[in-house]
Structure 1
Amino acid sequence: METSEQPPDGSGARVIPLRAESARRTRGERSEAGPASPEAPGPEAAEPTGPSVLEESIERLAAFVRRRVDGDYQVDEFGFDPDLTDNVIIPALRPLYRSWFRVETIGMHHVPDVGGALVVANHSGTLPLDALMTAVALHDEHPARRHLRMLGADLVFRLPVLGALTRKQGATLACNPDAERLMSSGELVGVWPEGFKGIGKPFKDRYKLQRFGRGGFVSAALRTGVPIIPCSIVGAEEIYPKIGDIKPLARLFGAPYFPVTPTFPLLGPLGAVPLPSKWYIEFGEPIRTDAHEPADADDPMLVFNLTDQVRESIQHTLYRLLSQRRNAFLG
């Protein structure tokens, strides 16, 4: 915001900064002395430069803090805070996405620019970083910069701090009523039907899809008539290769498993650093559901067939991506 200094006499006239005044004097002196030589251009010849990246970052941060202090931001009924997501959560994940995992996306044009849709992806990696990287991909790489409203297990929302942040990022409990309300309102919803069976499977079973449950996500898509977009993620299996499970510790902490990897718990906190595998996220051709009636969501055979179709699409894409990959860390 531009400001002007007031003169001592209180007249309210705008005072031109001294730099501008001295620049005018310099130009006047130069005009009296004759034209400047082309070999020594004056200060007025320099083109004005815009704000640096650091200055822009500071301005954005200051504007964000002002909005938070003034309460000038919105949160929807599920707790989603787009202002916090765009300015804090996504930027915090972006270095991991761009520099550490070096994620490449394929088939982004299959994700609609507007309207409800259901992204269904494979789950892996011991910790659910694949869900977070998918959210960053859709926010940064999609032309419409779409927010992914993730469906998560209740265990996630019971965790201190992390549960609240997950809500603010737009996630909600993996249940049909919430999913249907989101998709009916035009949101892009993400689901990982393998659940803990997927992210907690042993490394020897990598890229072998686990059971997709009873197909609740298909029922929700049928009731709302939104397309189902298969999403295949390669690279997440190698970040924490799970070679063991300490079940007594898992029961002690109320977790589905307590993983043992080549670096954890052997290296302590350092073992929590994910290995820098090369990632590929491919969005497949949408499977339409609007040709069916909402009542067809109660047809178990139709739900089973669509669930199997989505699962097979993801599995075949995983095999294809793996056959094209030369190395898990170099791509």
Structure 2
Amino acid sequence: MSDRRAPRRGRDSRVSPGGPAGINGKRVVLPPPVPGAPDADAAPRNGQRPTGSPPPAVADQPADVWDRRVASGLAFLRRRLSGDYEVDEFGFDPDLNDHVFHPVLRLLYREWFRTEVFGIDNVPTTGAGLVVGNHSGTVALDALMLSAALHDRHPEGRHLRLLGADLVFRMPFVSELARKSGGTVACNPDAERLLRGGDLVGVFPEGFKGVGKHYSQRYKLQRFGRGGFVSAALRTGTPIIPAAIVGAEEIYPMLADIKPLARLLGLPYFPVTPTFPWLGPLGMVPLPSKWMIEFCPPIPTADMMEHADDPMVVFNLSDQVRETIQQALHRLLERRPDPFAP
């Protein structure tokens, strides 16, 4: 009979879980346990986790996610059918925006254009603000993406009340959508009423000159209007937040403008792009360019309210906003050398 004794388990040495033979026939001595540390092999007592172990990760099951979506959808339909939702004096419908418009815009904003947003902290958390952006792209998707960026990235999910051209509100169906999404005519009385009500208002001073310019003029700001947006900000003491948008110029690159056809249809321009009108309705699908949006530091106006009717002050402030946006565009273009980068 062999007098070899089995190794003892003690405080100073432990045998591997494989038994005295250990691994490959050799005894493996484990390091001594750390005082106070839980034994990995010890079973939880009373159904509790061992002390010091991380809490188990609780992930939403797909069924739970779909249950919530279905419940939210049914609640939305119930509100619409019962009329239990609010619409303001301009026709803005926040409930419809949150549950229909912005989920659709989010697909374009995140997945198609892969938008990056910078300087969102420059947008006030509460109270009024006048967001002034560059305009481009043949079809004004930049206004919608700017609205989606604010709603999606701002801590308070703020709505942007866009000021649009008269043409938008003369078109059936489009006019109704614009009103329900928070838009109104680009005029000083409406802008001032919204600003005095504490809203974020979005304006594009280039107008059709910017959105309908030739591709060779991309990212070169056109002349701003007469500075009406500056007067509205000065009269209400609202800060002006310049916003630079890179990416819109490449979605429908305008190669030509058929002016006779535009006049016949009552349009400011009739674009010819690499895909339109050659591909018919498919030519209206925007190219998947990479977008970047930067909100620049706000320009305060509260100490200049008495100069709202001074043409020189209005012109200088308008020029300052334009130059700020132009410089921001240059910075963003340096960060995005490839228009179709992933």
Fold shared, TM-score > 0.5 on shorter chain: yes
Counterpart amino acid of residue 83 in structure 2: G
SS of the aligned residue for 1:288 comes to coil
Residue matched to 1:326: 337
2:98 is aligned with 1:82: no
1:97-116 alignment to 2 at 5 Å? 97-116=109-128
How big is each residue's C-alpha offset from its partner over 1:49-107, in whole Å with a ceiling of 9 and x where there is no partner? 76522221111111011001110000000000000011111111111111000111000
Residues 137 and 49 from structure 1, CA distance in 2 versus in 1: closer, same or farther, beyond 3 angstroms?
closer
Q: What amino acid is aligned across from residue 70 of structure 1 in structure 2? A: S
Greater C-alpha radius of gyration: 2
Of 325, 334, 338, 1:314 maps to 325
1:213–1:52 CA distance, 2 compared to 1 (3 A): same
The structure whose residues are more often helix, as a share, is 1
Q: Note the C-alpha offset of 1:48.
A: 11
1:117 to 129, 142, 147: 129
TM superposition score normalised by structure 2 = 0.81
SS at match of 1:52: helix
**Unaligned stretches of 5+ in structure 1?**
1-37, 39-46
Alignment of 1:140-289 (within 5 A): 140-289=152-301
Counterpart amino acid of residue 121 in structure 1: G
Query: Could you tell me how far apart the structure 2 residues matched to 1:48 and 1:259 are?
Result: 49
Q: Deviations over 1:154-191 (max 9, x none)?
A: 10011121110110000000000000000001000000
For residue 167 of structure 1, what is the amino acid of its counterpart?
R
CA-to-aligned-CA distance 1:110-151 (integer Å, 9 cap, x gap)? 000100000000000000000000001000100010000000
Q: What's 2:144 paired with?
A: 132
RMSD: 1.4
Tell me the residue number matched to 1:27. none
1:248 Cα offset (Å): 1.9
Query: Using the alignment, how far apart are the partners of 2:157 and 2:60 within structure 1?
Result: 29
Structure 2 unmatched runs, 5+:
1-42, 44-57
Q: What is the rounded CA distance, in whole Å, between the counterparts of 2:190 and 2:208 in structure 1?
A: 20
Deviates more, 1:122-131 or 1:50-59: 50-59
Q: How does 1:3-152 map to 2 (within 5 A)?
A: 52-152=64-164
Deviation (angstroms), 1:320: 1.3
Pairs within 5 Å for 1:295-306: 295-306=306-317
The residue type equivalent to 2:88 in the other structure is D
Whichever residue aligns with residue 178 of structure 1, its letter is D
Q: How many residues align?
A: 285
Question: Which deviations, in whole Å up to 9, do the C-alpha atoms of 1:232-268 show, x marking residues without a partner?
Answer: 0000000000001111221121110010001100111
- Structure 1 distance, partners of 2:60, 2:126, is 37
Quote the offset at 1:299 in angstroms. 0.4
Identical residues among aligned pairs (%): 65
**C-alpha separation in 2, matches of 1:48 and 1:238:** 39
